[in-house]
Chain A
Amino acid sequence: MTEQNPILDMRGIHKRFTGVVALKDVKFRLFPGEVHALMGENGAGKSTLIKVLTGVHDINEGTVTMEGKQLAISSPLEAQEAGITTVYQEVNLCTNLSVAENIFIGREPRRFGRILWKEMNRRAEQLLAERLNVSIDVTLPLASYSVAVQQLVAIARALNISAKVLILDEPTSSLDANEVRELFTVMRKLKEQGLAILFVTHFLDQVYEISDRISILRGGEFVGEYLAAELPRIDLVLKMIGKDLHLLAELPKSGSKEESRNGEAFLQASSLGRKGAIEPYDLNIARGEIIGFAGLLGSGRTESARLLFGADRADAGELTVEGTGGKIDSPRQAIRQGIAFCSENRKTEGIIADLTVRENIVLALQASRGWFRTISRKRQDEIADEYIKALNINPKNPEQLIKNLSGGNQQKVLLARWLLMEPKLLILDEPTRGIDIGAKAEIQKLVLALSRKGMSVLFISSELEEVLRVSDRIAVLRDRHLVKMMTAEEMSHENVMKAIAGG
C-alpha cells in the first residue's frame, strides 16, 4: 500500500456531551483501498467518532476534510450524499418494513416517481444472495428475522450505496463464523475497488485478518495509528487498556473446575420441541452446571432457549423443574421457578432507554418483589455501585441515562440486571456481544463464580472460544436439531467445529 493522500482526514476533533467529554483532540485518517480498524475499550469513543463524522451529532471543534475539501456534514443524509455510508452499531433499520425496502428505501428503483416493487424485490434477493450468501424471503417484514439477519440486511443496505467510504461499527458482533467469512470476502473485494473501509470490532482475530491499519482510542483520546503488520497483538491490547492485562490468563480453564456440585438435576427437558423452531431435544441441567450452546446462525440456539423460558410454547415434550414437573408455558412461570433470560436483542427486549443505569439494573429485582415492596434508595445505590464496579461500567455514574452509554456498556447493564437476580438458572443469549476483551473476561469470571455458588447457566454464544472456556458441557445445534451433547472430555475446538459443520 503506497502512501497516497488520505481520502478522509479528521483533525483536532472534540466532542462534549453534558457532563462527559467523549472525544478529546482526536485525529483519524482513512486511505482509499484500505481497511482501517478503529479500536478501543467500551466507551472509548469509537461510535461517537463515527457519529460526529456522519452528522448524527455535531462536532464541537475540529475539521473534517474529504478528498482535500473541507466538509460540514449536519445529517446522515448529507453524509450519504458526500459518499460516506454507515452501518451503525445498533442495527438501525425499520423492522415494520420488508427486507427489500430496508435495503432500498430512499433509493428505490422508480419509473416516473412510481416505485417498482418487483424490480426492488428482485434486486434485493440478488444482492443478498450474491454478496452475502443469504437467501431469505425479502418481502416479509424485517421484524420476522433475528438480529443476525437484520445485521446482514443493514450491511447489504450499505453495500448497495455506491460510496467512497464505508463505515462498519461492530458489524460482526452477532454473526457466526460463516457469515463473518462472507462479509470479509465482500470487504476485500470492495477494498480492491478502491473503497476506504472503517471497521470497528472487539475481536482481535478479525482485526488482524482483515485490516491494514489500526487506530486506537482510549478514554476519548487518540493513542496512535499503526500498520497492522507492525503492531503485535499484546501491544494492541496494552495500548487499548493502558495497562497490562492478565485477566484472560487468570481464567480457570474449562474442565479444571473443581467438582463443587453434587450433580443434582435442576431442569430436565425431554423431547421438548416446537414445530418450525426446534426439533424435539433432550437436555438435563444440573445445579451449578454451565451448558454452552454452540451452532451457526439460525441453528435454533435461541429458539430452544426460549422454550425453556416459556417465551414460546413448546408443542411437544416435557419440562421438569426440580422434580415439580409440567410445562413452563409463560415467562412468568419460568421466573417463579427461578429462571432468568438475558436476551440477545437488547434494543427491543432489554434496556429502557429513558431510565437511568441504576433503574435499569434494579428493574427485574424490583418487579420480582412486586411494586409494593420497594427496594430502598440506599440499597439501590449500593447495588448499582457494586455492579458498576464489578463489570466496569463506564461512565461510573449510576444516574446517567442508559441511552447515553456506549453499546458495550449498555450490554453490561443488562447483564447486571439478571446477575443481580441470582436466579437458579440463568439463560444468557450472546451476553458478550459488543463487549471489549477486558470486560468479556470479567463477565466470564463472574459467570463461573456464580455457577460455583450453585447457579446453573445456559450460555449461548457465537464465539466458540468463549463457549469452550466457560462451559462444563456443550450442546451443538445444527439446522434446528440438537445434534450432539459434548462432555468436558470431548470438548475441543476441533470437535465442536466438526459437529457444527456436520462432519
Chain B
Amino acid sequence: MFKRQYLPILVTVGLFVLVFLAGSFRYTGFFSLQVLTNLLIDNAFLLIVAVGMTFVIVSGGIDLSVGSMVALTTMLSATLVEQQGWPPSVVIPLVLAFGCLYGFGMGAIIHYFNIQPFIVTLAGMFLARGLCYIISINTITINDSFYKDMAMTKIQLPGGSFVSISVIIALAVVLLALYLAHYTRFGRNTYAIGGSEQSALLMGLPVARTKMLVYAFSGFCSALGGVVFTFYMLSGYGLHAVGLELDAIAAVVIGGTLLTGGVGYVAGTFFGVLILGVIQTIINFEGTLSSWWTKIVIGVLLFLFIILQRVINVRASKMKVI
C-alpha cells in the first residue's frame, strides 16, 4: 500500500533518476555503470558523514562539527602514521574511538546543560578545526603502504566497472544505519525524541542515553568519513573538508528528512548524496561551467525540497483520518 509519508523519498529517488537520465541524453558516455560507481567513489566520505547527520537531525538536533572532525581525523591519522610511525591497525581504531568520544561529549553537554545543539556543535567545530593546526599547519602526506593499498585497490564489477574499498565501507554503513534506524530500539527512540522529547521522557524512554548515543554515532561516522577521506586524499590537512557539514545537511534535507526532527530516512540521505554527486558530475561533463554552479543548483534544490516538505506537511495535517 502506498503511504503518503513516503512521498518525499520517492520524490528524491525520482529526481535522481531524472537528473541521471537528463545527463545521459545530453552527454555521450554519461550513461554507464562507471559514472554511477564514480559517484559513489567520489562521495563515499560524504555519504558516511551524512548518514550520521541523519540520525542527529531526526533526533531534532544538528551537528556542525562533522567537517572539522573529518579534517581532524585526517590530521591525526597522518601524524600518527607518518610522524610517530604507529601501525594503521592501531591508528584507525583509535581515531574512530576518538570520534565517538568527541560526539558523546558534545551530546552530554547538550543534554545535561540543556544547551542548543547548534551552539555546542559550533563550538565543537571550532575546537576540532583548531586542533588540526596544533598538530601542523601544513599538509602531511601519507606514504604508508596500507593507506596506499586502500586508495588504489579496485574491486572489479561485472561489466568492466569498479569500485573502491571506501565504497564498500560506505555501503556497509548505510546498511547498518538502515537497520539501526528501523529495527532497533535505539533507532526508534531517536525518532520518538525528534517527535517530542517531552513525550519520550513521559513514555519512559531513555532520552539522555539516546541523545548522547546519537551524537556519538555522528562522531563515529565523521571519524570514519575522515578515515575514508584519508584513503581518498592520502594526506592530512587542516583545510580538508571545509564546509562539509553543510553539504551533509543539504544531502539529508534533500533526502526528505525534516529539519524539525522526527521524520527522516537513511535511504533518502543515500539518494540525497547521489543527487549532489550527479549534479557535480554533470557540471564536470559540461566542461565550461565553473564548479560553483554546483552550489547554485544545490541552493535551488534545497529551496524546492523545503517547500515540498512544507506542502506535504500542511496537507497531511489536514488529512485527519478520524
Contact = CB atoms under 8 A, between A and B. Distances in A.
Interface in A130-169: 136-137, 139-141, 143-146, 148-149, 157
Interface in B106-130: none
Given A94-B200, A139-B3, A298-B322, 17 more contacts: A56-B201, A77-B205, A86-B202, A88-B202, A93-B196, A94-B199, A95-B195, A96-B263, A97-B195, A105-B189, A108-B188, A114-B183, A136-B322, A141-B5, A144-B320, A149-B322, A312-B318
A329 to B, nearest CB: 12
Given A105-B188, A115-B184, A115-B188, A96 B195 contact: yes
B188 A76 contact: no
Contact of B185 (A77, A79, A115, A137): A115
A358 B207 CA distance: 33
Contacts of A297: 322
B192 A145 contact: no
Contact of A157 (B184, B203, B263, B317): B203
Interface in B178-204: 179, 182-185, 188-189, 191-192, 194-196, 198-204
A106 interface: yes
Nearest to A303: B320
A105 B191 CA distance: 11
Interface in A235-268: none
Contacts of B200: 94
B205 A105 contact: yes
A92 interface: yes
Contacts of B318: 311-312
A144 B3 CA distance: 12
Given A114-B183, A297-B322, A101 B194 contact: no
B134 interface: no
B246 interface: no
A106 B184 CA distance: 10
Contacts of A97: 188, 191-192, 195
Contacts of A96: 191, 194-196, 262-263
A77 B320 contact: no
B183 to A, nearest CB: 5
B321 interface: yes
A113 interface: yes
B206 interface: yes
Nearest to B205: A106
Interface of A: 56, 75-77, 79-80, 86, 88, 92-97, 101, 105-106, 108, 110, 113-115, 117, 136-137, 139-141, 143-146, 148-149, 157, 297-298, 303, 311-312
B319 interface: yes
A94 to B, nearest CB: 3
Nearest to B58: A96
10 contacts: A77-B206, A93-B199, A94-B195, A94-B199, A94-B262, A97-B191, A108-B185, A140-B321, A146-B320, A146-B322
Contacts of B263: 96
B185 A106 contact: yes
A107 to B, nearest CB: 9
Interface of B: 3, 5, 179, 182-185, 188-189, 191-192, 194-196, 198-206, 262-263, 316-322
B319 A144 contact: yes
B321 A137 contact: yes
B202 A94 contact: no
Contact of B322 (A92, A94, A108, A145): A145
Contact of A92 (B198, B262, B316): B198
A77 B200 CA distance: 10
Contacts of B185: 106, 108, 110, 113, 115
B192 A94 contact: yes
Most chain B beta carbons < 10 A, residue from A80, A93, A108, A298:
A93
Interface centre among B3, B185, B202, B205 (most CB of A within 10 A): B202
A160 B291 CA distance: 57
A34 B322 CA distance: 33
Contacts of A143: 316-317
A71 to B, nearest CB: 15
Contacts of B194: 96
A300 B239 CA distance: 60
Contacts of B204: 75-77, 79-80, 106
Contacts of B191: 94, 96-97
A314 B201 CA distance: 39
A115 B183 CA distance: 5
Contacts of A146: 320, 322
B196 A95 contact: yes
A117 B187 CA distance: 13
A108 B182 CA distance: 12
A76 B321 contact: no
A115 B196 CA distance: 21
A137 B194 CA distance: 23
Contacts of B192: 94, 97, 101, 105
Nearest to A161: B204
A237 B192 CA distance: 41
Q: Which 4 A-B pairs have the closest CB atoms?
A: A94-B195, A96-B262, A96-B195, A77-B204
A106 B203 contact: yes
A86 B318 CA distance: 30
